[in-house]
């Protein structure tokens, strides 16, 4: 006896529904279990050779081995790091794109710029604070300035004659110098560049006359005699730079800050994938060989939890907000 038409239709419909269920997208839990199933991309909001670029490459190499997928570095410099950091926030939220960034794009640029294309506190999730590093206040050796006192005297005697570079508005390289100038009642012109190496080039070429830049950028030039190191911007002497005094030691207290670097991802990425990525990055940073390589770049590895990194960024905002508002600093 042949099957009735209604029964045949019901059977066909049931098979169709089963096929659709089989072809349906993975649930969030299934996607997290399968992640990573393809190579990842790490966006760096600064140029090649910059401190964030170095951190991304050193940590990324180890994290790639831990995750079993390659991590491709993509440099997106510009607008004081805002362009690349926005690209991280705006990436497809599948966990395959993340990146590094610093205090400017993640904290201070919310105060320096009237409008940002992203909201750091809500559009980005912290993965881990990777490293701390002090900035080093330097001048060209050819300037004949032997110490901080001589630099301050030159700045006070020559208002608006001196330029200083930074890897972007809102960085410690920028704000520490602005605070220094305010304390001594001097004026100088801030010139932002897309990376520390570019800022360093301006110093060596004479376009700028003094700078507070990460040690990875300046210490080779200090060692070969082209630059003179005057002080570090940290609250205490760096164990990696023990012979360079702090600004407080040389008579300029209250100017301190870390040129830190951390990993972030779009806040829309599923929490399970965020945790797997964060765990891999923390494991990579704490690896003895990675630690050794970072310290060779004058960086102090951290490898914090996401919650610790969030709390530190909140602390940084409380630290710099009154200074930025008091001095009326704006990003270029």
SS (H, E, C) 17-81: HHHHHHHCCCCHHHHHHHCCCCCEEEEECCCCCCHHHHHHHHHHHHHHHHHCCCEEEEECCCHHH
Q: Topology of domain 136-250, per CATH?
A: D-Maltodextrin-Binding Protein; domain 2 (3.40.190)
8 A C-beta contact, residue 237 and residue 246: yes
Per-residue tokens: 31? 């996607």
Which residues, at least 6 apart from 330, have a Cβ–Cβ distance to it below 8 Å?
A: 112, 113, 169
Give 119's Cβ-side CA count (13 Å radius).
Answer: 5
Per-residue tokens: 62? 């180890």
User: Residue 141 in 3-state DSSP?
Assistant: helix
Report DSSP letters for 208-246, one per residue: ---EEE-HHHHHHHHHTTSEEEEEESSSS--TTSTTSPB
8 A C-beta contact, residue 73 and residue 60: yes
Q: Do domains 40-133+259-327 and 136-250 have the same CATH topology?
A: yes
The Cα 139–Cα 114 span in angstroms is 32
Residue 330: exposure state from Cβ atoms within 10 A (0-12, 13-18, ≥19): exposed
The Cα 148–Cα 322 span in angstroms is 25
Closest residue by Cα to residue 263 from 317, 320, 305, 217? 305
Closest residue by Cα to residue 112 from 82, 77, 75, 134? 82
| Strands 300-301 and 40-44, sheet pairing | unpaired
Q: Domain residues of the chain, as ranges?
A: 40-133+259-327, 136-250
pLDDT in tens, the chain (332 residues): 455 545 555 555 555 545 544 444 556 566 678 899 999 999 999 999 899 999 999 999 999 999 999 999 999 999 989 999 999 999 999 999 999 999 999 999 999 998 999 999 999 999 999 999 989 999 999 999 999 999 999 999 999 899 999 998 888 899 999 989 988 899 999 999 988 899 999 999 999 999 999 999 999 999 999 999 999 988 888 888 999 999 999 888 888 888 999 999 999 999 999 999 999 999 999 999 999 999 999 999 999 999 999 999 999 999 899 889 988 888 86
| Strands 136-140 and 211-213, sheet pairing | antiparallel
R_g (Cα) of the chain, nearest Å: 24
Query: What is the per-residue pLDDT for 291?
Result: 97
Report DSSP letters for 157-201, one per residue: HSTTT-EEEESSTTSHHHHHHHHHHHHHT---EEEE-SSHHHHHH
Positions of E strands within 239-299? 261-266
Q: What angle do CA 45, 51, 54 make, to 5 degrees?
A: 90
CATH of domain 40-133+259-327: 3.40.190.150
Query: What is the per-residue pLDDT for 10?
Result: 52
3-class SS shares of the chain: helix, strand, coil, % to 5 = 50, 15, 35
Q: Distances in Å between the alpha carbon of 85 and those of 109, 267, 289?
A: 11, 13, 28
Query: What predicted TM-score, i.e. pTM, was given to this entire model?
Result: 0.84
């Amino acid at each position: 006896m042949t099957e009735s038409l209604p029964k045949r239709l019901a059977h066909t419909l049931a098979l169709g529904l089963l096929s659709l269920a089989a072809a349906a997208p993975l649930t969030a839990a299934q996607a997290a279990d399968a992640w990573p199933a393809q190579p990842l991309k790490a966006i760096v909001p600064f140029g090649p050779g910059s401190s964030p670029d170095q951190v991304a490459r050193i940590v990324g190499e180890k994290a790639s081995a831990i995750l079993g997928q390659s991590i491709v570095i993509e440099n997106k410099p510009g607008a004081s790091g805002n362009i690349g950091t926005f690209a991280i926030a705006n990436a497809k939220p599948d966990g395959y794109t993340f990146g590094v960034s610093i205090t400017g794009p993640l904290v201070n640029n919310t105060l320096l710029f009237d409008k940002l294309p992203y909201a750091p506190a809500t559009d980005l999730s912290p993965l881990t604070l990777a490293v701390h590093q002090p900035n080093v206040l330097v001048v060209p050796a050819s300037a004949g300035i032997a110490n901080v006192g001589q630099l301050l005297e030159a700045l006070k005697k020559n208002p608006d004659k001196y330029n200083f570079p930074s890897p972007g508005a809102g960085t410690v390289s920028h704000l520490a110098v602005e605070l220094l100038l305010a304390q001594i009642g001097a004026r100088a012109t801030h010139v932002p560049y897309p990376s520390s190496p570019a800022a360093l080039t301006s110093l060596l070429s004479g376009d700028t006359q003094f700078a507070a830049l990460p040690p990875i950028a300046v210490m080779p030039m200090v060692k070969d005699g082209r630059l003179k190191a005057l002080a570090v911007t940290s609250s205490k002497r760096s164990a990696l730079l023990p012979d360079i005094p702090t600004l407080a030691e040389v008579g300029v207290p209250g100017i301190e800050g870390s040129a830190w670097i951390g990993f972030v991802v779009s806040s829309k990425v599923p929490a399970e994938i965020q945790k797997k990525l964060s765990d891999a990055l923390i494991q990579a940073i704490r690896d003895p060989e990675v630690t050794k390589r970072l310290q060779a770049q004058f960086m102090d590895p951290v490898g914090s939890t996401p919650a610790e990194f969030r709390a530190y960024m909140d602390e940084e905002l409380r630290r710099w907000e009154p200074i930025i508002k008091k001095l009326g600093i704006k990003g270029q």
